[in-house]
Amino acid sequence: AQSVTQLDSQVPVFEEAPVELRCNYSSSVSVYLFWYVQYPNQGLQLLLKYLSGSTLVESINGFEAEFNKSQTSFHLRKPSVHISDTAEYFCAVSDAHSGGGADGLTFGKGTHLIIQP
Amino acid sequence: KAGVTQTPRYLIKTRGQQVTLSCSPISGHRSVSWYQQTPGQGLQFLFEYFSETQRNKGNFPGRFSGRQFSNSRSEMNVSTLELGDSALYLCASSLARQGAEQFFGPGTRLTVL
């Protein structure tokens, strides 16, 4: 079984400041890692994912996350946030050796990123 | 390419009734997964269908069921509704490869009175 812990339920940040959203996971098997973003009244959108290879992954809108196997973490960072980044962010894992197919994602509780002008 | 669509977007039911939610995946996607999102429990995996077969299942009671049709469209059914079933139900489709991105629909907001 897997679990995901997002340590902060809310993170207030001033516009143009850097931000880090923390994510730790627990699993007895290898995992794939994901960050999803949910804007108000919308479904989830994939921000970035780690499957294998380079431990630093980036999204097209300036977010990045680093997979740290020893600390079982996948923290999300952005060097300078904008008002438009206000949203709920979810970290998720799936089993990397399930035999293929779309496995159920195990999500964290989410972090509400609040950008203050 | 059209995204994942879910109908209806909003639904109000009373306790004891049953409900059916519908999901149309992205064209070419054969895997459809369902999730329940509530303020208290967050996002929880319900089940996943591929080629009309349920392949994975989360930890939900048997009142929650689903099916998938030959065109990959999927329906989710909840019988004997309880107040605690009030939630946003999200459907996601994917190419069913390991690590493939799941594309989410906007969800169906179910309110049980």
Q: What is the pLDDT of residues A53-111, one digit of tens each?
A: 888 888 888 999 999 999 999 999 999 999 999 999 999 998 876 644 456 789 999 99
Contact A102 B96 (CB under 8 A): yes
- C-beta atoms of A104 and B4 within 8 A: no
By the 8 A CB rule, do B73 and B23 touch?
yes
Token pair 């300036």 is found at A62
**pLDDT (0 to 100) of residue A92:** 93
Which residue of chain A comes nearest to B4, CA vs CA?
A: A43
- DSSP conformation class of A51: -
A18-69 per-position pLDDT tens digit? 999 999 999 888 889 999 999 987 889 999 999 888 888 888 889 999 999 9
Nearest to A31 by CA among A104, A89, A110, A88: A104
pLDDT in tens, B50-78: 999 998 888 999 999 999 999 999 999 99
Predicted confidence at residue A35, as pLDDT, reads 96
Give the Å distances, CA to CA, from A72 to A51, A99, B23, B81. Answer: 14, 23, 34, 39
Distance from CA of B72 to the nearest CA of A (A): 14
Q: Determine whether the interchain pair B42/A110 forms a contact, defined as Cβ–Cβ distance below 8 Å.
A: yes
Q: How far apart are CA A26 and CA B6, in angstroms?
A: 32
